[in-house]
A = this chain, B = another copy of it.
Amino acid sequence: MKMVSIISRISSTLFPRVSMPAFTMASRSKATSVKPKTAIVMLNMGGPQTTDQVGGYLLRIMTDRDMIQLPVQSKLGPWIATRRTEEVKKKYNEIGGGSPILKWTNTQGRMLTEALDQMLPESAPHKHYVAFRYVPPFTEDAFQEIERDGVERAVIFSQYPQYSCATTGSSLNAIADFYRNREVPSSIKFSLIERWATHPLLAKVFAERIREKLEAFDSRVRNDVVILFTAHSLPLKAVSRGDTYPHEVAATVAATMSTLQVPNPHRLVWQSKVGPLPWLQPYTDDAIKAYVKQGRKHLILVPIAFVNEHIETLHELDIEYCDELAKEINKPGPKSVPWRTTNTASQISRLGTQTPIQHFQHYRQQSIQTH
């Protein structure tokens, strides 16, 4: 992929973007010695650090047409954002007053750049930049900082393993918007890691977390535990437009099960639907209820589309499904419910280190081959 296609806006209206290989390369950078030399730009949606940020966060989501498409969006979007603010604030209060996503992204960024400095001295020093879509530090702030720092290379690294127009696509459009009336600096060589759904190390980390959880079950029931892979759902309208997200999530599930090599049954289900329109199903809570009704009470929930904790794992999975829903459907059943979320961020953050290393290694091989 040429940089021009990163900087150009991407239409999400119909078959917006054909799938690209996971590792696409920029041309080789010139050797000048400015510090930091290489930027790792970590794209993500972000989450409110404090409940004061909830209003602005929801407003930006509800007016982002890549994320959600509403009739009369400029009016209806802000109205919905205002209407939902208190309810969402309450949820953030229940998980400690804010999202941990900035903390974990910074942790992962530090681990990542330290490892890169050791492994790839020719592109060191590396510095990570957090580029969030809906809360500070915003995407445009990150790119301003990158320009001020005078880096030679910038690897734009989507923190969503699976590409969706609503997530990675929206962040790429935020970059394009930033450069709409501004010259793209010719001194920086940009490259992009836009999808890594079938990266073997991603499958390996998920498989390790799942194995740990399975081993916590009594050996007599261990092989019967249903592994429920759960990902944020998508409106069916987006699926119909050709968003590759559902297929890429399914590919991660297949790669994980193939790495895991256990006889357990598994299923891919979809969480976090909002609004009245149909979204990609089956829904996670319906699936849990259906399995419990069938007498299958040993389930683990595996969030498969994120690489750190956030409101959908900490509140929706841990509180609403593992706690509240379990009580609702199990009464007067056992109190200790053997459902667990596998995504402990401190463990999974190791993964973040590996993908850019492979990107650089691939880049280095390409450079050797083509120069």
Taking Cβ atoms with an 8 Å cutoff, the residues of A that contact B are 14-15, 18-21, 197-198, 226, 236, 239-242, 244, 246-248, 250-251, 253-255, 258, 263, 265-269, 278, 280-282, 287, 290-291, 294, 296
Contacts of A294 in B (CB 8 A): 15
Q: List 29 A-B contacts (CB under 8 A).
A: A14-B290, A15-B267, A15-B282, A15-B294, A18-B266, A18-B267, A20-B263, A20-B265, A197-B254, A198-B254, A236-B278, A239-B280, A239-B281, A240-B281, A240-B282, A241-B282, A242-B287, A244-B267, A244-B268, A246-B250, A247-B254, A247-B268, A248-B250, A248-B254, A250-B254, A251-B251, A251-B253, A251-B254, A278-B278
Complex Cα–Cα for A19 and B240 (A): 26
Residue in B closest to A251 when the chains form the complex, CB atoms: B254
CA distance A15 to B228 in the complex (A): 12
CB neighbours of A248 from chain B (8 A): 250, 254
Cα distance A323–B266 in the bound complex, in angstroms: 41
Q: A18-B226, A251-B254 are in contact. List 12 more A-B contacts (CB 8 A).
A: A15-B282, A18-B266, A236-B278, A240-B281, A242-B282, A242-B287, A244-B267, A246-B250, A247-B268, A250-B254, A251-B251, A254-B255
Chain B residue nearest in CB terms to A198 = B254
Contact of A258 among B14, B198, B269 (CB under 8 A): B198
Q: Which 8 pairs, one residue from A and one from B, show the smallest C-beta to C-beta distance?
A: A18-B265, A251-B254, A250-B250, A240-B281, A247-B250, A15-B290, A242-B282, A14-B290
